[in-house]
Chains A and B, each alone.
Chain A
Amino acid sequence: MSQVLLLVAKDLRLEWRSREIVISMGLVALLLVVVLAAARAEASLTPAAMWVTYAFGAAVGFARMFATERDPLTAVLLAPVDRSSIYAAKVVANWLAIAVVQVASLPLFGALFTEAVWTHLPALTLPLLLGGLSLAVVGTLFSALIVQTRLRDALLPLLMLPVILPALIAAMGATTGILEGQPLAAVAVHLRLLAAFDMLFAAAGMLLFEVLISE
């Protein structure tokens, strides 16, 4: 656990110095919100616009998360820590990056789409956190897979988006219900799917990451 925290702190320090990921991810996300709102800004389209924005923001930002390591992976693999801690730390760092994008885009969604985004914020945190984690667990594994391939940045969305589709559908369902003012119990079925997705792929990610990087 302390290993994970140590690695997360390292990633955050690196990111604080360059702000490369948050800026590229955040700008793409804000641009997407504006483009989607310009295309059509209806209250009923808000959940779809939100999750499309987060998914593409993640696909842009995650590709860089391993690339910030100088000579990707080699240095961090030399550190005397568990391989699964490396994965867990990157998931946490990516999750935080997505959370930053989510928080930063909420004012825009409220202003351009519907103010329900602000008024239902407490309930909304649940799908935002669970869905953000879904993006992080799958995105981290895939960005580790392709960090040394050609056309890395083009490949991540291609691989990531179909796999996270079930999580996106569930997150959009939960967001729709909450924005319509339904109680949390009404969207429990969506939240359960999100939680199951997160647990399954967190476990699979941890196992597969170890197999993937062992020489």
Chain B
Amino acid sequence: MRLLLTLSLTLMLIGLTWALAVAPTEAIQGPPQRIMYLHVPAVITAYAALAVVCVASVLFLWRRDPRWDRLALAAAELAVLFITMTLVTGALWGRPVWGTWWTWDARLTTTLILWFIYVGYLVVRAWAPGERGARAAAVIGVIGILDVPLIHWSAILLRTLHPQPTVFRPEGPALPVSMLIPLAINAAAFLTLFLTLLTLRVRQERTLTRLVEILEGGA
């Protein structure tokens, strides 16, 4: 735990310094391009968190072991956190580079809708405590992931209905090594931070469960 925390903070420090000071400035986009060093790691971590939610939800529905439920809850909270970071950094980058805060591109739309679905997940957890709420949340956790390909598909249809003035360049050739290294370090930093927070949150929930058990047992 302490090791993970130290590791993620060290990586974060190195990665951010590298991204801000050492990596070359992109020729066309200029300084805003450096947002990528936060944006891409955030989105990778967000999708990793969603994968954890989905797997843990399926296992919980199957095995009914509260440990999986605690894992799904912790991962869902972090998924919402990292999706929020993705959306905010993306908008901040889009304004100077695309000339707009938001556009109905397939990837953007999918990420936004996922944010709504998993905020809904957290609302259910808050309003429906206990076993029934946990089961309801697990079903939403699975449904949310099932919806991803359909949202992506529909957003592509949406774009053909409303052509966008902005030219979407495909992500282009692989990044030069001078940019790839800080990006990889940051991605590793975000993922270890995610693991740290996940462990912390799962432990917290476990302690809470035990506390409730002890209190109920004593009464």
Interface residues of A (CB under 8 A from B): 138, 141-142, 145-146, 148-151, 155, 158-159, 161-163, 165-167, 169-170, 173, 176, 189-190, 193, 196-197, 200-201, 204, 208, 211-212
Contact = CB atoms under 8 A, between A and B. Distances in A.
A169 B124 contact: no
A34 to B, nearest CB: 27
Interface stretch (B40-48, B154-162, B179-187, B210-218): B154-162
14 contacts: A138-B143, A141-B139, A145-B139, A148-B128, A150-B127, A155-B120, A163-B117, A165-B154, A169-B158, A170-B154, A189-B157, A193-B154, A208-B61, A208-B142
Contact of A151 (B62, B117, B127): B127
B146 interface: yes
Interface in B48-63: 61-62
Interface string B127-170: 11000110110011011101100110111011001000000000
A162 B150 CA distance: 12
Given A165-B154, A166-B150, A212-B135, A149 B127 contact: yes
Contacts of B132: 148-149
Contacts of A145: 124, 136, 139-140
A133 B92 CA distance: 39
Contacts of B22: none
Nearest to B121: A159
Nearest to B62: A211
B120 A162 contact: yes
B151 A204 contact: no
A166 B120 contact: no
Given A158-B123, A159-B117, A169-B155, 11 more contacts: A141-B139, A142-B140, A146-B136, A155-B123, A159-B123, A162-B116, A166-B151, A170-B154, A204-B142, A208-B139, A211-B61
Contacts of B154: 165-167, 169-170, 193
Contacts of B161: 173, 176
Contacts of A158: 120, 123
